[in-house]
Amino acid sequence: MSKRNTAFYLMTIPAVLLFFAFHTFPAIQGVYYSLTNWNGFSPTYEFVGFKNYVNIFKDENVLNAYIFTFKYAVLTTILVNALSLIIALGLNAKIKFRNFFRAVYFLPNILSILIVGFIFNYIFGHVIPDVAEKMGIEFLKSNILGNENLAWIGIVIVAVWQSVAFNTILYLAGLQTIPSDLYEAASLDGATKWKEFWTITFPLIAPFFTINMVLAMKNNMNVFDHVVAMTGGGPGRATESIAVLIYQGGFTGGEFAYQSANAVIFLFIIVVLTFIQLKFLQKREMEM
C-alpha cells in the first residue's frame, strides 16, 4: 500500500468509525428498541414485535402531529423558496448598497432559533395586540399563538423569516454562475425580463432550486425548536410536530420504545419524500 493511500485511509477510517458510533449504531438501537416495550429507564423489557408499529397507526395524537407537520412543512417550503428566489434576484441586480442588504438579509440565519422564538412569542403576545388595540383592529387584539386554529400560522411566519436567509445565499450562488452574455443576447432579441427569467435564469439555476426544495422540506419536516420556543406544542396539541411528540413521549412520557417506532416510521417517510422530490425535480431539470 502506498503512502498516499495510507494517508487517505488514516483520514477516512476515523470519520467512518465516529459516524457509525454516533449515528448508525444509535439508529440501529432505535430500531431494536422499537420492537420492545421498554419505557426508557426500566432495567427489564419484553419483545412485542410489531405491536408498537400497529398502535402508531391507531393513535390519534400521532395522526394530528403528522397533519400539523405536513401542513407546516409544505407551506413553509413553498414560501421560503419563493421569497428567497425573489430576494436573490433583487440582490443580484446592480443596486446601491448591495453588500449591505445581503448582510441584513442573512442576519436572521445566525440568530439562535430559541432566542428568535422567544422574541416573537413576546411580539405576538404583547406588541401586536397592544398596537391592534390602539388601532381598532379586532382580529389582532388576541395572541394568535393562543388560538388553536391560528397558532401554526405564527410558527410559519417566524420560520420563513429565519429560513429565507440561507436559501437566498444558495440562489445568489446559482445566479452568479450565469454568464452575462446570455442576458445581453436575449436583450438584443427583444426578450422581456419575464421571458429572460423563464428561458435563461430559472433553467440554469434549476439544480440550486432542487437542492433548496429538498433541504427545506427535510428541515421543515423536522421542526422542533420553533415549536418548543413559541407554543410548546399547544394550545392543547394544535402545534405538536412529530419531532416534539417523539421527544416528549420518548424522553419524558415513558414511551421510549413506542416513540422509537414512531421515529422509524418518520425516518422512512422523510426518505421516501426526499426520493420523490429528487426524481421529480431532477426530471424537470433535464426537460429544461
As a whole number of Å, the CA-based R_g of the chain is 24
Contact 146, 166 (CB under 8 A): no
pLDDT value of residue 62: 93
Residue 132, Cβ density class (10 Å: 0-12 exposed, 13-18 middle, ≥19 buried):
middle
User: What is the domain partition of the chain in residue ranges?
Assistant: 64-287
**Cell representation of residue 237:** 396539541
Q: What is the C-alpha separation between 180 and 201, in angstroms, rounded?
A: 11
Instruction: Mention every residue, 6+ apart, whose C-beta is less than 8 A from residue 235.
Output: 145, 146, 147, 148, 151
Region 64-287: CATH code: 1.10.3720.10
| Residue ranges in the chain modelled with pLDDT below 50 | none
Contact 156, 68 (CB under 8 A): no
Q: What is the C-alpha separation between 215 and 167, in angstroms, rounded?
A: 9
Contact 250, 178 (CB under 8 A): no
Contact 146, 181 (CB under 8 A): no
pLDDT value of residue 70: 95
Contact 178, 207 (CB under 8 A): no
- Residues 28-83 pLDDT 10s: 999 999 999 988 888 888 999 899 999 999 999 999 999 999 999 999 999 999 99
Nearest partner of 174 among 111, 84, 101, judged by Cα: 84
Nearest partner of 230 among 123, 75, 147, 117, judged by Cα: 117
Contact 285, 206 (CB under 8 A): yes
Residue 145 one-letter amino acid: L
pLDDT value of residue 64: 94
